[in-house]
Structure 1
Amino acid sequence: MTPAERDTLLCRLADPEAPAVTVPAEAVDPLLKLARDHNVLPVVTRKLAAQHRTADLEAARSELTLLIGLSLHLRGIAAKVDRYIADRQLEAVIVKGPVFARQIYPTPSDRPFTDIDIMVAPSARAPIGELLTSLGYQLFLKPLLDHTEQNQEEKWIQPSMDALLIEVHGNLVHYQGLRRRISFGYAEFMQSGQGNANAGMPQFFVAVVHAALGHKFHQLRLLVDLLQAFRHLSPDEVTALPEIARQLGLALEARLCLELVAELFDAPGAGVAAGRIAGGSASRLATRLVDGAAVLAAPTAFLSKVRRHSFRGLQRIVPRGAG
């Protein structure tokens, strides 16, 4: 099996809703390594375990049992946070991990998570801190060169078990250089869903910001989140997507994300939606810098890193709303 064939098979296996595909025995362990590199081990293991038994596959299943157990524990903490937010009518919302698993993945265990992310408006920051303190969490600050305030990202840990991490975000765009152009905090989150935090659009734009502004497409899992979030948009939301992307200043990122989803997965609607988002010279350059091959090579290839860092440079200089 060639590397290109293996990459194609990885994308098929990583898609939670793709039909089963026959995998040659000799490809199982190499695919597991790629799945680990791209953080899509849960869904790939689930599909491979239905066909094969290898030592690496059994090790992966044992590893995932522990990870799913951690996710269940964190889900219980997330439920307490949700009740606290609702009872006090705080401008705060849990995003990513537990929400993605519950709302956009047909099999929640395909999307385990290792932390809880809470997005807060300024008025909710102190009350959320009081809750986390009451639950035994402590705000982690580096003794030197701490960037908590600069990045608008607080890390709260349990001293006795630092694996239980909660992150409090004032803005999902952590880098100041990028926030000069684009912001995605609680207000923008609610704007994307027209006031409905449970609509499909907020989850889609959280996935866009996480993949394209929080990270630089360094793992396939970021695009699987995008794939699932796009699939869960209503027809009306798909129609409204270009205008919402324009209003949020995320046209460049949303268009690129959809193009990548269309390239790597069986999601032709994503390509159609991407084409409806206005794109100019910045979008054309972005597509040359970050394509499916760059994403798939991201964990190991230096050229992919150069291309993705060049894309980050483009994001810093392109005018707000330009595509």
Structure 2
Amino acid sequence: MSAAERDALLCRLADPEAPAVAVDLETVDPLLKLARDHNVLPVVTRKLAAQRSTADLRAAQDELTLLVGLSMHLRGIAAKVDRHIAERQLHAVIVKGPVFARQIYPTPSDRPFTDIDIMVAPSARGPIGELLTGLGYQLFRKPLLDHTEQNQEEKWIQPDMDALLIEVHGNLVHYQGLRRRISFGYDELMLSGKGDPSGALPQFFVTVVHAALGHKFHQLRLLVDVLQAWRRLTPDDAAALPEMARRLGLALEARLCLELIAELFALPAAAAAARRIVGGTPSALATRLVDGAAVLAAPTAFLSKVRRHAFRGLQRIVPRGAG
């Protein structure tokens, strides 16, 4: 099997809603390695295990059992945080991991998570800190070169179990150089859902920001999140998407994410949705810098890193709203 064929098979297996396909025994190990590299091991393992059992698959299943257990523990903590936010009517909301697993993945165990992310307005930062302190958490700061304030991202840990991580975000765009152009904080999240941050359109924009601004497309899992959020859009959401992307300043990133899921998961409808977002030279350049091959090569290839960093440079200089 060629590398291109293996990549295509990985994408098919990583798609939570695509049917499983037959896999040769000698292909299992390379696919499991790729799945780990791209953080899509849960769904790939689920599909492969339905066909056969190997020592490597059993090891992967044992690994995932621990990860799912951590996710369940974190889900209980998230429920306490949600109740606290609701009771005190705080301007804060849990985003990403547990929300994605519950709302956009048909099989929640396909999307385990290793931390809880809370988006807060400035007024909620203090009360959320008090809650976490009461739950036994401590704010972690590096002794040198700490960027907590600069990145608007607090990391809270339990001293006796630092795997139970909670991150409090003032903005999901952590890098100051990018925030000069684009911001995605509590106000933008609420805007994207017209006051309801739990809607499908806000989830879509959170996945876009996470993939394209929080990270640099370094794992396929980031785009599986985009794929699943896009699938949950209603016709009204899809119609509103281009204008909302423009208002949020996310036209470039939303268009590129849609083009990538169209290419990687063979979805012409996503390509058509991308074309409805007004774009120009920056979008065309972004597509040349970050294509499906660059994403799939991201964990190991130096050229992919160069291309994705060049895209980050493009993001810094494109005028707000341009795409």
What band does the TM-score fall into relative to the shorter chain?
over 0.9
For the residues of structure 1 that align with 2:13 and 2:296, how far apart are their CA atoms?
14
The CA deviation at 1:311 is: 0.1
Q: Kindly indicate whether residue 236 of structure 2 is the aligned counterpart of residue 236 of structure 1.
A: yes
Deviations 1:205-240 (A, max 9, x none): 000000000000000000000000000011100001
For the residues of structure 2 that align with 1:312 and 1:2, how far apart are their CA atoms?
30
Alignment partner, residue 12 of structure 1 = 12
Alignment partner, residue 54 of structure 1 = 54
Alignment partner, residue 125 of structure 1 = 125
Alignment partner, residue 199 of structure 1 = 199
Q: How does 1:11-50 map to 2 (within 5 A)?
A: 11-50=11-50
Alignment partner, residue 208 of structure 1 = 208
The CA deviation at 1:64 is: 0.2
Alignment partner, residue 281 of structure 2 = 281
Deviations 1:80-124 (A, max 9, x none): 000000001100000000000000000000000000000000000
The secondary structure found in structure 1 opposite 2:155 is: strand
Deviations 1:26-80 (A, max 9, x none): 1111000000000000000000001121111111000000000000000000000
Deviations 1:272-309 (A, max 9, x none): 11000001000000000000000000000000000000
For the residues of structure 1 that align with 2:158 and 2:80, how far apart are their CA atoms?
16
Alignment partner, residue 73 of structure 2 = 73
Q: Kindly indicate whether residue 82 of structure 2 is the aligned counterpart of residue 82 of structure 1.
A: yes
The CA deviation at 1:268 is: 2.3
The share of aligned pairs that are identical, in percent, is 84
Alignment partner, residue 168 of structure 2 = 168
The secondary structure found in structure 1 opposite 2:52 is: coil
The secondary structure found in structure 2 opposite 1:39 is: coil
Alignment partner, residue 307 of structure 1 = 307
For the residues of structure 2 that align with 1:267 and 1:160, how far apart are their CA atoms?
46
CA RMSD of aligned residues (A): 0.5
The secondary structure found in structure 1 opposite 2:79 is: helix
The secondary structure found in structure 2 opposite 1:116 is: strand
The CA deviation at 1:267 is: 2.5
TM-score scaled by length of structure 1? 0.99
For the residues of structure 2 that align with 1:201 and 1:180, how far apart are their CA atoms?
24
Moved over 2 A (4+): none
Gaps of 5+ in 2: none
The secondary structure found in structure 2 opposite 1:172 is: coil
For the residues of structure 2 that align with 1:162 and 1:192, how far apart are their CA atoms?
33
For the residues of structure 1 that align with 2:304 and 2:193, how far apart are their CA atoms?
34
